[in-house]
Amino acid sequence: MPQLLEQDDKGIYCAVADVYIDPWKPVKKAFVTHAHADHARPGSAQYVCVDASREIIKHRLEATNVDSLPFGKPITVNGVKFSFHPAGHIIGSAQIRVEHKGEVWVVSGDYKTENDQLSGGFEPLRCHTFISECTFGLPVFNWQPQETVFNEINKWWNTNKEDGKVSFISAYSLGKAQRVISGLDGTIGPIYCHNAVENINEIARAEGFEIQDTMRLNIEMDKKSLTGGLIVAPPGFMNSNYISRMKNVDLASASGWMNLRGARRRRAVDRGFVLSDHADWNGLLSAISATEASKILVTHGYVNVFSKYLQELGYDAQILQTEYEGDEVEQEVVADEGV
């Protein structure tokens, strides 16, 4: 008897419905948890996602074959009931619940348990089997409340302004950037966004998300006019000629990886703010416990340490080998810190 969801060379597959979830190769029908590049890949004949993600997925995949549903509304395919539920990771991110003949599986996609007011609060879903990410599945990862982090960021920005500097904060363009912007105190100065960030801001605003006013960064701008302002751009832009030739700029990164010793130095930034769109160690454990699932399949992240720890807690925990790569941020290599 095949399992309700299985994994093959294309992705996580529901054979009864002939549906893939976040496939890494083109398929006939792809249900997609969110628009990050490792979960929403091009080439499939049909995509189904949640309403809040539709325009962003269309934009990123340059696709028109994208259908969507509201959160919580089920769609039945060959007797299998699928529904999307908030994952709290980024704008439009969803968990996918799959039910067939009384058996329930949930695919988490990426998730975060702290509510950032943009991504929808993570919804705990009861299920028999939970497929969980564990990007930050080591006990060393413990996030501060976001208010604390945003206070630090705004203080840093204000100090730079007083010193006659430009502030630069690297954040990946979909998700982290909008979260950073939502925590910025816009009374300090203007917020400039790299094209990749501003394109997403515009789509999100058109979809009704409240993102405060920002300006599109134009590299023709007189750099002096940026003094006191703050630039939000993807990590790669930090090495551009435009930024590396800029005088009086203070560089920062907002990432969960900043929690690791040496990460700030390796990224060559002046400041590291620990701000992640993923659950930390305790967030993962509380989310898993809330599902009341006995079987846990773990994907991307510290799968070895994390699955072993879950086994010690009494779960039937296994590793699911997927091709998810992490959110367009470079993964940092660290020695397993043990549990």
Alpha carbons 336 and 61: distance in angstroms, whole number: 35
For Zn ion, which residue of 33, 36, 132, 165 counts as binding (CB under 5 A)? 36
Q: How far is the CB of 143 from Zn ion (least distance, A)?
A: 16
Q: How far is the CB of 98 from Zn ion (least distance, A)?
A: 18
For Zn ion, which residue of 22, 110, 198, 280 counts as binding (CB under 5 A)? 110
* Nearer to Zn ion among residue 157 and residue 281 (C-beta): 281
Contact 124, 146 (CB under 8 A): no
Contact 278, 135 (CB under 8 A): yes
Pairing type for strands 215-216 and 191-193 reads: parallel
* Nearer to Zn ion among residue 36 and residue 58 (C-beta): 36
* Nearer to Zn ion among residue 55 and residue 327 (C-beta): 327
- 9-17, 70-78, 308-316, 319-327 -> range binding Zn ion (CB under 5 A): 319-327
Q: How far is the CB of 335 from Zn ion (least distance, A)?
A: 23
SS3 143: coil
Which residues are registered as beta bridge partners of 318?
A: 297
The closest of 115, 116, 230, 225 to 166, measured between CA atoms, is: 230
* Nearer to Zn ion among residue 110 and residue 198 (C-beta): 110
Alpha carbons 330 and 229: distance in angstroms, whole number: 27
* Nearer to Zn ion among residue 133 and residue 198 (C-beta): 133
- 12-20, 30-38, 96-104, 136-144 -> range binding Zn ion (CB under 5 A): 30-38
Give the tokens for residue 6.
């299985």
Q: How far is the CB of 213 from Zn ion (least distance, A)?
A: 26
- 31-39, 162-170, 189-197, 291-299 -> range binding Zn ion (CB under 5 A): 31-39
The closest of 244, 91, 271 to 170, measured between CA atoms, is: 271
For Zn ion, which residue of 257, 299, 327, 329 counts as binding (CB under 5 A)? 327
* Nearer to Zn ion among residue 24 and residue 71 (C-beta): 24
* Nearer to Zn ion among residue 107 and residue 231 (C-beta): 107
Q: How far is the CB of 110 from Zn ion (least distance, A)?
A: 4
* Nearer to Zn ion among residue 110 and residue 116 (C-beta): 110
Q: How far is the CB of 37 from Zn ion (least distance, A)?
A: 9
Q: How far is the CB of 31 from Zn ion (least distance, A)?
A: 15
Q: Tell me: does residue 278 bind Zn ion (CB under 5 A).
A: no
Q: How far is the CB of 88 from Zn ion (least distance, A)?
A: 11
Amino acid letter, residue 12: I
Sheet with 295-301, strands from edge to edge, namely 75-77, 80-86, 94-100, 103-107, 129-134, 295-301, 316-319
Q: How far is CA 337 from the centre of its chain?
A: 24
Q: How far is the CB of 301 from Zn ion (least distance, A)?
A: 9
Give the tokens for residue 18.
């002939």
For Zn ion, which residue of 31, 156, 302, 324 counts as binding (CB under 5 A)? 324
Contact 176, 196 (CB under 8 A): no
Give me the helices (H) in the chain, please: 51-61, 146-162, 176-183, 195-206, 241-244, 263-266, 281-291, 303-312
Q: What is the dihedral of CA 172, 173, 178, 181, to 10 degrees?
A: 80
- 234-242, 260-268, 314-322, 325-333 -> range binding Zn ion (CB under 5 A): 325-333
Interface residues toward Zn ion, by CB under 5 A: 36, 110, 324, 327
